[in-house]
Structure 1
């Protein structure tokens, strides 16, 4: 196995030939107009290194916060922009870096059927030729690349300590397979844990509403459903139905009292990303599920 840092961004293919440059999302929607700084650098490749064309790269469009971490909120903002003038302004305010992790075609030669490690070696050779660095937040280059590492445990601990998203484990003999989940590439995400107050259950979609106490008030902080299964789900539904204080459509509201422990990826706009149920916490009083306690748990 080899291991790479996983960055929070938009998965993207970059295609360059003598006449065309385009960025494609995973479902083959063009992203070209939204990221002119990447197109500008691709144009330089097109003009100065046409012996390497056509070329097809696989990577992640990211707004880097460090060599380990990318900003989900910033790349989301960039992705929503449609006005050309505003997009140009944000190339200075929140410049995007294309972090390449795979080489699929070079000089018109397809590499998808070659092994991961062979593709990576050819990618490294080409990146060195182009003087593109491995991921470096302080080195302002629009194209950089993600190197493989052999010590997954050490890399994951490094990612955890700097609050990165996680790592990807890749089998060295794996092939590149389009649009499919494969056991040859395994994501290992760095997750936080915290304690939350149940405030309701939606009978329509099966989601549980949760909150923390912030400034002496209940602050709604998200919904969850994943991980809550079998007897735990049945018990929660029964408790909510027996202790409801009101309804709003299919949402059953309850007074504070039930506490749960959840895993989650991060907080974004005061909402949990990818929360998952861990367990009920009958030993935790709901008044201890505070915003300050959550921040302490995330920093530990």
Structure 2
């Protein structure tokens, strides 16, 4: 059975008769399962069962869930989820090329793929492809509910069969796709029928294109591809080749210009010096080359020198509609050298990791209008000139910004808000969402005191079976988080615990730690500020930049990183995204830990002490 396929569109579908699904980079697959046989097949009818044994194993292990619905046929996408809106194209391609059973089994265990189901073809042996899409989706939703399976993609879930939901609002899902750098959207007409093997206009794929200005370097004779490049210093760097997007007259004109101005020709290529500037749209960079490049337009207004690797890198993520970056080349830090566009690029890439911590919190920012070269100021109240999409809430007589979306975050970035400080509770309640210990040594030279204190606290947390997370403050200390279930424990109750920890540290090492409020009496000891954890107080958000001369970031750490070699200046804006890509996000399971935090028994003990 060959699947129904979407048609590519460059225009957002108009009208009320469309629903929208996130598009993922993976392997299209159809699951056929009757009472005696299970088959996972590609769009070309080839077996995928051997390549994705974790899916087959999951289905067999949970057969009792699915048994009442057999025989069934489900349509979906096999993916390696990077986040809820993006699949990792490179990793799924590597899996697809594997042939060693041992290697496949190793990958299936270490990095299991998910099968995201977006349509149903057969249920309980009854074919339903002639039913309308909206009806099929409702049946699929009911099926997932009755099987107790996830109703949306989740990279952390152990359930490998997950539902791919549809949305009524294009803009709502598009903002998520842009935020998480997903591939795009599939728009589906509500009354479409599932048509085997047909590429249909009732399913339309609208992609999250990136745009780059580059120049032509060569023409390949055998297949009519045009090769492109950009400058890195004075060296020409190849970024890929394209054939799609050109009108016949544009293609003929471009070929003639290359032919008439060639610098070299051999049996394969006609080569030219950088001179013809164009704009190309593409999906993402893969192994140093553009994926799915399409010609967009000629750029007669540009000189080749303007087509640089730097601008190519800055264009790797799209900005949401309505966001404009002013003075992109403004210097903000000297060493490392960071311009405003670099800063905005960092905020865009770090947004999936920081926004969950800003969500539904009264926001205080510190703005640096002249970068670290000038004065800064705190801003709590939303300015009058803020755009309409900026959410606010009145509290304490102040119209606070609530940063729940990427557009607000990037608008603040364009206002040169470097630091993002948040209270310990959300706007929905007055009880803390987490406990935070702020380990603030007298100076950076005394950072070892923070490392020592963190080690002692980790020992206590382990003994009490509590889950703790640690991050740098980005300035001179460390901060330890204990996530709590929402709206459960009061500040008075958590104060019992913070007081207990503070007193324990002082008794453990009175020469290193103190709870003395007066600075002149602390000496060279680290102050354990257990009173700071209170309503109305704030803490720097995870992954927030700091207004230090080194462009440091309040960076989540793995506990094994908290040792004598740790240094605040090892975590700077230019390095954080590469760090996450390399070792992951140490706070990835922070919100999941709320439900598993066994704080109640500890609190009961302290109350009865």
Task: Decide which structure has greater strand share.
Answer: 1
- The answer for the alignment partner of 1:95 in structure 2 is 112
2:138 to 121, 125, 130: 121
The alignment covers a number of residue pairs equal to 300
Helix, strand or coil for the counterpart of 2:313? helix
Q: Supply the distance in 1 between the matched residues of 2:289 and 2:217 (Cα, whole angstroms).
A: 15
- The answer for the alignment partner of 2:149 in structure 1 is 132
The aligned runs of 1:42-121 (5 Å cut-off) are 42-121=59-138
Helix, strand or coil for the counterpart of 1:95? coil
- The answer for the alignment partner of 1:234 in structure 2 is 252
CA RMSD of aligned residues (A): 1.4
- The answer for the alignment partner of 1:13 in structure 2 is 30
Helix, strand or coil for the counterpart of 1:239? helix
Q: Supply the distance in 2 between the matched residues of 1:202 and 1:148 (Cα, whole angstroms).
A: 42
Residue 43 of structure 2 is aligned to residue 26 of structure 1 = yes
Residue 231 of structure 2 is aligned to residue 218 of structure 1 = no
Q: 1:262-282, CA deviations, whole angstroms, 9 ceiling, x for partnerless residues?
A: 111111111111111111112
Q: 1:216-262, CA deviations, whole angstroms, 9 ceiling, x for partnerless residues?
A: 42121111111122332232212211211111313101111211101
Helix, strand or coil for the counterpart of 1:32? coil
**TM-score, normalization by structure 2:** 0.48
- The answer for the alignment partner of 1:197 in structure 2 is 215
> Which structure is higher in RCO with an 8 Å CA cutoff and minimum separation 6?
1
- The answer for the alignment partner of 1:186 in structure 2 is 204
Q: Supply the distance in 1 between the matched residues of 2:191 and 2:250 (Cα, whole angstroms).
A: 41
Helix, strand or coil for the counterpart of 1:131? coil
Q: 1:37-94, CA deviations, whole angstroms, 9 ceiling, x for partnerless residues?
A: 1001111343454221111110000000000100111110111111000001111333
Aligned-pair distance for 1:187? 0.9
Contact map agreement 1:9 1:75 (CA 8 A) in 2 = yes
Between stretches 124-133 and 228-237, larger displacement belongs to: 228-237
- The answer for the alignment partner of 1:38 in structure 2 is 55
1:254 to 248, 267, 272: 272
Q: Supply the distance in 1 between the matched residues of 2:234 and 2:101 (Cα, whole angstroms).
A: 43
Contact map agreement 1:18 1:46 (CA 8 A) in 2 = no
Aligned-pair distance for 1:100? 0.3
Q: Which runs of 5+ in 2 are unaligned?
A: 1-17, 320-609
Q: Supply the distance in 1 between the matched residues of 2:212 and 2:158 (Cα, whole angstroms).
A: 36
Contact map agreement 1:193 1:261 (CA 8 A) in 2 = yes
1:245 to 256, 263, 283: 263
Q: Which runs of 5+ in 1 are unaligned?
A: none
Which structure has the larger Rg over C-alpha atoms?
2
Contact map agreement 2:221 2:270 (CA 8 A) in 1 = yes
